[in-house]
Amino acid sequence: MADAPSIGPEAARWDAPSAKAAPLAMHLHLERGGEAVAVEPVTPSDLVDPLAELWFDSHLRRGFSGFGLEQMRALLKPVHRDDPELGRIWEGFDLETRNPGGEVHSGFFTRESLEHVASRGARRLIAEGRLEAGSLYYFGLGPAEGADPWAEGEPGAPIEGPPGRGAPGALRVPLARLLDRATPAGGETTEGHHPVFFTRSARDRAERIARRGGDAQPPVETGGLFVGPLCVCPDTDEIFSVVTDVLEAAETEATKYSLTYSGPTWARIQAILRARRKQNPSRHHRLQGQHHGHNFLPLEGATPCAACDYVESCTRTTAHLSSDDRTWCRAVFPGEPWQLSQVFGLDARSRPVEAFYGQRGGMLVRRGYYVIDDFEDSLLDEGA
């Protein structure tokens, strides 16, 4: 496997044919069941995360870890049901592919996985003065204008991976060796998620960094990036993540409710990563995700609800990915289905809480992880 993504043999030109337009669109409605007031096209970039997830499940985790995302080809097929009142409702879409072993795999993605497309359409409506900011609207998936990928008998619309995205490098490590020494943390791991391990020091350092901003006056958001190798199990072909370190985001622009990485922030992170990749033990280190702190109380510190003394756990917390957080993750980790996110926040009684996320169904969803005491060279398979 290559350490770095492959670069195409020929330089791309501006006037090279662009990727084919996706045949999907998000239809926006101001009333439930009303006429669509806008049709926002689904672009090829909107489908990169679903396609990458299918690539991860059908190729990388099936023994074809040298297969690049740029080589991926899939067919997009609609999934719908007929409602007696509302007519045909597009619930989402399937992506189907065949791996080099001849196995056919498919993955279902709900229309919610493309919610950002609806948000983009809504922003356009707001800019045009046709929708007030904060107003309710409805969205549904449907065909793009002039497209009919839904016609009976159609095999599906072809989509392909983005250029310049080779296979990720990975260390060969028997998964069982890590599971034997791992402690579950962060909640349940939904079926289908790839295993994720944190060394105890990396996990603790992430929380220290994220909560540090809570000590500032006024409090600010602080955070960093997860670093470590992707690993492939020689016994099962499973791919899994190991986070061995955390890089603090320095020289950021931070406020109580936001955290912006500056040019120097990225330059420092990339310099460190480049240096590590030159060292043998860390040659496969990559950025695997982000963490940060929401160092403020929910609902601006409103009094806890009346049932607070009787409930086992408080659901009113700031440990959630916000809409801005999700947009940032889509921008920084597109096509990286192993991406991880962690938010450290507070509940209504100021108790520390955390939420951990991974990609499933084209979206970042809650999941758990494992903690291990260390990750030393003796864990590596021979020849790794």
Partner 1 sequence: MKTEVSSPSGGGVPDAMIVHAVNVTGSQEIPIEVGPSLSVRSVTDAIAHRMALPTDVAWSLRDDRSSAYLDDEGAIGDQIAPGSRVVITPKSHLGGGLLG
Residues of this chain that interact with partner 1 (CB under 8 A) are 4-5, 7-8, 11-16, 18-19, 43-46, 48, 116, 119-120, 123, 162-165, 168, 221, 223, 253, 255-261, 263-264, 266-267, 270, 273, 286-287, 290, 292, 294, 296, 298-300, 318, 320, 322-325, 327-328, 330-336, 343, 345
Beta-strand ranges (E) seen in 186-279 are 196-199, 223-232, 239-243, 245-248, 253-255, 258-260
Of 178 and 362, the one with the shorter C-beta distance to partner 1 is 362
Of 47 and 372, the one with the shorter C-beta distance to partner 1 is 47
DSSP letter at 128 equals: T
Report in angstroms how near the CB of residue 294 gets to partner 1 at its nearest. 4
Beta-strand ranges (E) seen in 163-207 are 171-172, 183-185, 196-199
Report in angstroms how near the CB of residue 268 gets to partner 1 at its nearest. 9
Alpha-carbon distance 367 to 376, whole Å? 25
Backbone φ and ψ for 157, nearest 5 degrees, come out as -90, 130
Alpha-carbon distance 296 to 320, whole Å? 12
Q: How many CB atoms lie within 10 A of CB 88?
A: 12
Report in angstroms how near the CB of residue 76 gets to partner 1 at its nearest. 15
Report in angstroms how near the CB of residue 179 gets to partner 1 at its nearest. 27
Cα–Cα distances in angstroms (integers) from residue 280 to residues 70, 275, 377, in the given order = 27, 11, 11
Of 11 and 151, the one with the shorter C-beta distance to partner 1 is 11
Beta bridge partners of 341: 290, 357
Of 192 and 264, the one with the shorter C-beta distance to partner 1 is 264
Report in angstroms how near the CB of residue 5 gets to partner 1 at its nearest. 6
Report in angstroms how near the CB of residue 35 gets to partner 1 at its nearest. 24
Q: What is the largest CA-CA distance in the chain?
A: 65
Of 7 and 250, the one with the shorter C-beta distance to partner 1 is 7
Provide DSSP, 293-362. Answer: E--S-GGGGPPPPGGGGT-SS---BS-S--HHHHHHHHHHSTT-TT-EEEEEEEBTTS-EEEEEEEEETT
Of 190 and 255, the one with the shorter C-beta distance to partner 1 is 255
Report in angstroms how near the CB of residue 133 gets to partner 1 at its nearest. 12
User: Which tokens is 87 given?
Assistant: 């007519």
Of 7 and 176, the one with the shorter C-beta distance to partner 1 is 7
